[in-house]
Amino acid sequence: MKFAVIVFPGSNCDIDMYHAIKDELGEEVEYVWHDRDNLDEFDGVLLPGGFSYGDYLRSGAIARFANVMEAVKKAAAAGKPVLGVCNGFQILLEAGLLPGAMRRNQDLKFICRPVTLEVVNNETLFTNAYAKHERISIPVAHGEGNYYCDEATLKQLVDNHQIVFQYADENPNGSLQNIAGIVNEKGNVLGMMPHPERAVDTLLGSADGLKLFKSIVKQWREQYVVTS
């Protein structure tokens, strides 16, 4: 499987994402600069964390207009897995690939520490390697991770089982209904604030994030075998 790690000016977790795919997962991966307009050669797309365009205006608000985002939308429409982590999640929200918006953390402080997540939905292409309600340790590092949406959108997320991860022991940023990660209706676009790419080896404090990437590859291989 071949992944694209999208790099925007200000991305700072692209190297972590690349390492997780190449060295821990053992799959093919390339850095892709933000001005590229075609991602057809890739099987999956990864939008890493950081501070794209310095987080001017709002986090992700400028990155949504980058050339590469039309190609990201095309990949999502084609059913390819698209993962946005932290700033990548914010970009997916700004681009309309996921519903809702991000606000500043409730205490207005940047947080950087491991948190416990609950796997609410383990029947997605990102979570099939986890058990339902499994608790995992994944670090967060953000100042604007307070997820918000209106009541109608929240009902849709709940009814369609689009809430994938919730904060378990604490809600570090004030997110609505403890939401830490959601998918689109089709289930192939995931946005999450915690960093699974920083939890792919026990030397990092946790290897719980590696299952997420293994889930993607497992699903892709099953589909490839069926369609080949």
Catalytic residue ranges? 86, 195, 197
Q: 133: which residues sit within 8 A by CB, 6+ positions away? A: 118, 119, 120
Instruction: Report yes or no: 30 and 65 within 8 Å, Cβ to Cβ.
Output: no
Q: Which of 27, 33, 37 is nearest to 5 (CA)?
A: 33
What is the token pair recorded at 202?
A: 């026990």
Instruction: Report yes or no: 194 and 140 within 8 Å, Cβ to Cβ.
Output: yes
What is the token pair recorded at 46?
A: 């990864």
